[in-house]
Homo-oligomer: A and B are copies of this chain.
Amino acid sequence: MPLLALGTVAFDTIHTARGRAERVIGGSATHFSYAASFFSPVKVVSVIGDDFPDDYLRLLADRGVDVTGVERARGQTFFWAGEYNADFSRRTTLEVHLNVFGAWQPRVVAAHRAAPFVFLGNGHPDLQARVLAQMQRPKFVCLDSMNHWIVEERDGLLEVLKKVDAFILNDEEARLLTEESNLIRAGRALLALGPRMIILKKGEHGALLFADGLFFALPAYPVENVVDPTGAGDAFAGGVMGFLARANDVSFPTVKRALLRGAVIASFIVEDFSLHRLKTVRPADIEDRVRRMEEMLCL
């Protein structure tokens, strides 16, 4: 089933202990949609500046990502520069320029408004709400956010959370929003905010799922060769949502299987900068890691 994703298409400059990448393709909608494209067609809602190369956009289009909803505005594309410490446990934002994304008024292309699966990528809660309001009758809406909005736009975030089915966030964000240090309590507290499903990402420790009074914990796929974790969370979400859209089902057992795909996609993206590693991945490579992980987890 069609899947629509709101988020940034951006330039990233990244420093890690393993190297440096300058103005590579990045952004939440980029990582999300590229990852989801392995499972389902995706339509992106975003904005880029006149400095964004066609080649970069073609990377997505070549994966079957529908980029007709990516507006081109006069000005510069969203830019983020960041740095990781040696063991990747801390990330520092060196620069962030919203550029054309800052003043953007999103308009969902008419043909995309019927998409039953919707991902509202990390951004201002008002922007997320504005895109959601344009959708017809989505079957399953998943929202991502980050520390900045939890602190600066808490009320707006709480408002939009009441309108979505699932909330995906990391452990640090969950603790910040709920003021619960215990992640199981945090998960329950998040459910009380409105969404019927909480997906709590823990990086190298995997993810937790809370829904339907049930609980599931998935370890991360074991990766030895981490080069750059940028985009892992968005690619994880892309794998999950892509799989759900393909299955056209959001029951608990299907979501568990979807999380497994998310973990596998995330395991690839961290092995190189930007989309470099994902570009070399074939569906058979994904199935191979999914099978390994199923064997690994089986009791």
| Complex Cα spacing A39 to B256, Å | 32
Number of chain A residues close to chain B: CB under 8 A: 35
Q: What is A's interface to B at a CB cutoff of 8 Å?
A: 86-89, 175, 181-185, 188, 202, 204-206, 208, 214-220, 222-224, 226, 256-257, 260, 294, 296-299
Determine the distance from Cα of A182 to Cα of B86 in the docked complex, in whole angstroms: 10
Separation of A208 and B202 alpha carbons in the complex (Å)? 15
* Most chain B Cβ neighbours within 10 Å, of A184, A223, A226: A184
Q: How far is the CB of A220 from chain B (nearest CB, A)?
A: 8
Q: How many copies does the complex hold?
A: 2
Q: Given B86, B206, B260, B296, which contacts A216 in the complex, CB threshold below 8 Å?
A: B296
Note all chain B residues with C-beta closer than 8 A to A86.
181
Q: Which residues of B contact A208 (CB under 8 A)?
A: 219, 222
Partner of A299, one of B188, B222, B257: B257
Interface centre among A88, A208, A218, A219 (most CB of B within 10 A): A219
Name the residue on B nearest A203 (C-beta): B205
Contacts of A205 in B (CB 8 A): 202, 205-206
- If A208-B219, A294-B299 are given as contacts, then 7 extra A-B residue pairs at C-beta distance below 8 Å, sorted by A number, are A182-B224, A184-B222, A206-B219, A215-B222, A217-B219, A217-B296, A219-B219
Residues of chain B within 8 A of A214, CB atoms compared: 296
Asked if residues B217 and A260 are in contact (CB atoms below 8 Å), the reply is no
Contact in complex: B181, A299 (CB < 8 Å):
no
Question: How close is A190's CB to chain B, nearest CB, in angstroms?
Answer: 14
User: In the bound complex, do residue B217 and residue A181 qualify as a contact, i.e. CB atoms below 8 Å apart?
Assistant: no
Contact A183-B204, Cβ < 8 Å, known A217-B222, A297-B299, A299-B256: yes
Query: Whole-angstrom distance from the CB of A69 to the nearest CB of chain B?
Result: 34
- CB neighbours of A215 from chain B (8 A): 222, 296
- In-complex Cβ contact of A181 among B89, B183, B219, B257 (8 A): B89
What's the least CB distance linking A137 to chain B, in Å?
Answer: 31
**Shortest CB distance A299–B (Å):** 6
Q: In the assembly, what is the distance between CA of A206 and CA of B89, in Å?
A: 18
5 closest Cβ pairs, A-B complex: A87-B181, A217-B219, A205-B205, A184-B222, A184-B224
Residues of B within 8 A of A183 (CB): 204
